[in-house]
Amino acid sequence: MTDSPAGVRVQRAGPIAEIALSNGPLNLVTKDLLRAFNHALGAVSYDSQIRCVIVHGGDARAFCAGSDIREFADLRHDASEHKILFEDMVLRTLARVPVPTIAAIDGPALGGGLEIALACDLRVCRRGVALGLPESSLGGLAGSGSVRLARLIGPARAKELLFTGETIATDKALAWGIVNIVVEEGSALDGARRLAATIAKRGPLSNRFSKQLVDAAQDLPNDAALSMSTVLQQQIYDSSDLREGMSAFFAKREPDFLGR
């Protein structure tokens, strides 16, 4: 386990890395938290042995309850310089971690907290936690959250949540596709660990390439995404992992993938 000066903790369990936000009982988004989180994301992104990353709220009451509003007082014309651009860069870094990422939501994920969860690939939450983008109630704006939410659940549903600023029940969040799993018993972190363990057993190249292709399907023209698919499929056929997977299949054993 490693600790950053701001309290973000990184723990490694085999091929799975866990990043625990730790900034007070509500895990408020501050400059210090963002710096620490960005450092942790860089560390896990460059570790070729990691096959899945879990982001969770540590010992706090909230996964992350959003931005520390006290920081807004000195922000006006220079908000892009002092908050918006850096925060956006950190969330982009999270979204671009090359391996699957899971947000384990055991407490409220509001505003900037839900934006962190939306930048992950998958979301596991405990039943009954509060989820929402309440910025409109303060006259604010969920910038990247508006974009990621709309791409995830469609424009009409995203606008409903953004315009009203209300939280959404976990059952409804599951039905709408905001979260992937609602945990009935135990913690969301336990549920995320079970999901991560399954992911870590699969071909690491397969999962890295799948993530690239799903993202490309949203970001690139269809023909460009399909061209990328052709290139990545050839890399899979060239890989030792596919040979190992075939051998394990015929031998009726678990494959031992090496990620190459």
Domains and CATH numbers, the chain: 2-201 (3.90.226.10), 204-251 (1.10.12)
Residue 29 or residue 130, greater confidence? 130
Helix (H, G, I), strand (E, B) or coil at 29: strand
The distance of Cα 234 from the centroid of its chain, to the nearest Å, equals 28
Catalytic residue among 71, 135, 184, 244: 135
Q: DSSP label at 122?
A: E
Residue pair 89/42 in contact by the 8 Å Cβ criterion: no
As a whole number, mean pLDDT of residues 218-236 equals 94
- Looking at residue 154, its pLDDT comes to 96
Q: What is the pTM of this model?
A: 0.92
Percentage of the chain exceeding pLDDT 70: 91
Does residue 135 have an active-site annotation? yes
* pLDDT-based confidence at residue 160 (cuts at 50, 70, 90): very high
The distance of Cα 252 from the centroid of its chain, to the nearest Å, equals 34
Residue 230 or residue 6, greater confidence? 230
Residue pair 102/54 in contact by the 8 Å Cβ criterion: yes
* Residues contacting residue 227 through CB under 8 Å, at least 6 positions apart: none
Does residue 115 have an active-site annotation? yes
**Of 47, 56, 71, 67, residue with least CA distance to 18:** 56
- CA angle at 42 for the pair 112 and 196, rounded to the nearest 5°: 75
Tens-place pLDDT, residues 70-126: 665 565 566 566 566 888 999 999 999 999 999 999 999 999 999 999 999 999 999
Percentage of the chain exceeding pLDDT 90: 74
- Looking at residue 139, its pLDDT comes to 85
* pLDDT-based confidence at residue 129 (cuts at 50, 70, 90): very high
**Of 157, 156, 203, residue with least CA distance to 178:** 157
Catalytic residue among 115, 160, 184, 244: 115
- Looking at residue 73, its pLDDT comes to 54
Q: List C-alpha distances in Å: 9 to 54, 136, 250.
A: 12, 31, 42
- Looking at residue 67, its pLDDT comes to 72
- Looking at residue 1, its pLDDT comes to 47
The pLDDT of residue 186 is above 80: yes
Tens-place pLDDT, residues 55-74: 999 999 999 987 766 665 56
Q: Which two tokens stand for residue 248?
A: 């394990």
As a whole number, mean pLDDT of residues 176-205 equals 96
Considering the chain, what is the average pLDDT of its residues? Answer: 90
- Looking at residue 151, its pLDDT comes to 94
As a whole number, mean pLDDT of residues 178-198 equals 96
Residue pair 24/34 in contact by the 8 Å Cβ criterion: no
